[in-house]
């Protein structure tokens, strides 16, 4: 078997994908920005929670659902566009500009130094890098670190894609989302409890940037008495995703993975196994086994994006796996 091990946080792979198989992962919302078909492996929880942005099915109907997507990619087009507009604010190529403007404005620091804190996470870096590039274009002095420095001055802003990375930051602290808080992307009963009791509404974070209308309302609820610390500005990655949505991206990714660029590229990107924390998770030997059967019966490129280096023996020879 052949495997490719790379950071699955790289948006090139998602942009090259023709059809996404998802579950409760926030990647679903990012994917529909490109107005491409999606299949949701849906248990009862997901059917009750997630919007109908694509075909919902269990593993037994997966092959039929993929056939429908291939034969009629415009099915659910209106639903995809509607929910993308709700999940993301103004996908107009100016999201990073707007996010940075909002952070600087809310800080009250007109000529700031900005410290971007990535926490040594490839995923967090993916969400911070576009904002770093925007700051560099403006000749803003920046630092890019795994953990915040302890030097305080009145001109510093700290920005992170993970709330806890700001815990020891001595500055105006701003958090940008590294995953959508739109409908169905989390166990929100658990989330409300954690934000209120475990996290105390993150008092050390002075500003939370919401990606879109859905996330804005969710964050206000999660923050309770600190709900005035939310600003609706957009996502740091939408510009990048839309830039990558080209034929050339698919050609390069297929060449890298030794795929045929002339046939559909299907990516399975589960949130993980079904659990209390991930009630809509779909990763299982049954799903991987069905993908293996489908790959043998059809001329398709199948890519599996998983969070951990697991279940190798369940994957077919023509599949490729990206591990985080």
pLDDT digits (tens, 9 = 90+) for 283-306: 999 998 899 889 888 888 899 887
Same-domain check for residues 109 and 228:
yes
Same-domain check for residues 166 and 68:
no
pLDDT at 299: 86
Cα–Cα distance measured from residue 282 to residue 136, given in angstroms and rounded to the nearest whole number: 40
Cα–Cα distance measured from residue 87 to residue 103, given in angstroms and rounded to the nearest whole number: 20
Same-domain check for residues 60 and 115:
no
Residue range 187-202: mean pLDDT, rounded:
86
pLDDT at 311: 47
pLDDT at 317: 42
Residue 183 inside a domain? The answer is yes
Does 85 score more than 50 pLDDT? yes
Q: Are 253 and 301 in contact (CB under 8 A)?
A: no
Does 236 score more than 80 pLDDT? yes
Residue range 180-206: mean pLDDT, rounded:
87
Which residues, listed in sequence order, are joined to residue 41 by a DSSP beta bridge? 57
Biggest CA–CA distance in the chain, Å, is 63
pLDDT at 152: 74
CATH code where residue 313 lies: 3.40.50
Same-domain check for residues 204 and 284:
no
Both tokens of residue 320? 């490729």
Same-domain check for residues 129 and 189:
yes
pLDDT at 24: 93
Percent of the chain with pLDDT over 70: 92
Same-domain check for residues 122 and 36:
no
Same-domain check for residues 19 and 57:
yes
User: Confidence class of residue 48 from pLDDT cuts 50, 70 and 90?
Assistant: very high
CB neighbour list of residue 323: distance below 8 Å, 6 or more residues apart: 5, 6, 8, 306, 307, 308, 309
Residue 305 inside a domain? The answer is yes
pLDDT digits (tens, 9 = 90+) for 49-84: 999 999 999 999 999 999 999 999 999 999 999 999
pLDDT digits (tens, 9 = 90+) for 115-137: 999 999 988 999 999 999 999 99
Among the listed residues 236, 15, 232, 10, the one whose alpha carbon sits nearest the alpha carbon of residue 134: 236
pLDDT at 313: 41
Does 316 score more than 50 pLDDT? no
Residue 152: CA count within 13 A, CB half-sphere: 6
pLDDT at 116: 97
User: Confidence class of residue 209 from pLDDT cuts 50, 70 and 90?
Assistant: very high
Residue 242 inside a domain? The answer is no
Residue 1 inside a domain? The answer is no
Residue 35 inside a domain? The answer is yes
H or E element at residue 319:
strand 319-323
Same-domain check for residues 137 and 213:
yes
Cα dist. 41→27, 35, 58, 284, 289 in Å? Answer: 14, 19, 5, 11, 14
Same-domain check for residues 29 and 48:
yes
Same-domain check for residues 302 and 209:
no
Cα–Cα distance measured from residue 227 to residue 80, given in angstroms and rounded to the nearest whole number: 29
Last residue of a domain, which of 187, 219, 234? 234
pLDDT at 171: 93
Both tokens of residue 225? 């008495």
- Domain with 38 in it: 11-88+262-323
Least confident interval from 152-161, 178-187, 244-253: 178-187
Cα–Cα distance measured from residue 124 to residue 117, given in angstroms and rounded to the nearest whole number: 9
Residue range 157-172: mean pLDDT, rounded:
94
234: left (phi over 0), alpha (psi -120 to 50) or beta: left
Same-domain check for residues 43 and 18:
yes
Does 204 score more than 60 pLDDT? yes
Residue 2 inside a domain? The answer is no
Same-domain check for residues 143 and 158:
yes
Domains contained in the chain, number: 2
pLDDT at 267: 93
pLDDT digits (tens, 9 = 90+) for 7-38: 467 899 999 999 999 999 999 999 999 999 99
Does 205 score more than 50 pLDDT? yes
E strand segments, 30-110:
38-41, 55-57
Cα–Cα distance measured from residue 257 to residue 136, given in angstroms and rounded to the nearest whole number: 33
Residue 247 inside a domain? The answer is no
pLDDT at 192: 82
Residue 144 inside a domain? The answer is yes
Mean pLDDT score across all residues of the chain? 89
Residues in the chain: 324
């Amino acid at each position: 078997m052949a495997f490719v091990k790379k950071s699955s946080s790289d948006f090139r792979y998602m942009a090259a994908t023709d059809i996404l198989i998802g579950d409760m992962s926030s990647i679903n919302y990012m994917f529909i920005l490109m107005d491409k078909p999606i299949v949701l492996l849906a248990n009862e929880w997901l059917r009750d929670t997630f919007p109908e942005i694509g075909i919902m099915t269990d593993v037994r109907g997966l092959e039929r659902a993929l056939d429908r997507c291939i034969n009629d990619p415009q099915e659910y087009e209106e639903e995809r566009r509607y929910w993308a507009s709700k999940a993301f604010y103004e996908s107009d190529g100016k999201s990073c500009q707007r996010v940075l403007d909002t952070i600087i404005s809310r800080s009250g620091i007109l000529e700031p130094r900005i410290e971007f804190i990535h926490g040594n996470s490839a995923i967090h870096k993916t969400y911070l890098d576009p904002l770093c590039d925007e700051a560099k274009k403006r000749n803003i002095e920046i630092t890019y670190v795994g953990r915040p420095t302890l030097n305080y001055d009145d001109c510093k802003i700290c920005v992170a894609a993970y709330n806890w990375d700001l815990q020891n930051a001595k500055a105006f602290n701003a958090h940008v989302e590294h995953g959508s808080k739109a409908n169905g992307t989390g166990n929100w009963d658990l989330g409300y409890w954690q934000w209120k009791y475990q996290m105390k509404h993150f008092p050390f974070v002075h500003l939370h940037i919401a990606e879109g209308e859905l996330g804005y309302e969710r964050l206000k609820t999660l923050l309770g008495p600190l709900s005035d610390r939310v600003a609706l500005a957009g996502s740091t990655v939408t510009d990048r995703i839309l830039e990558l949505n080209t034929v050339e991206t698919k050609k390069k990714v297929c060449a890298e993975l030794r795929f045929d660029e002339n046939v559909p590229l299907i990516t399975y990107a589960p949130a993980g196994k079904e659990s209390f924390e991930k009630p809509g998770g779909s990763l299982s030997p049954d799903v991987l086994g069905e993908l293996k059967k489908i790959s043998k019966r059809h001329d398709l490129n199948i890519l599996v994006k998983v969070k951990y280096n697991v279940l190798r023996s369940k994957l077919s020879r023509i599949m490729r796996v990206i591990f985080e």
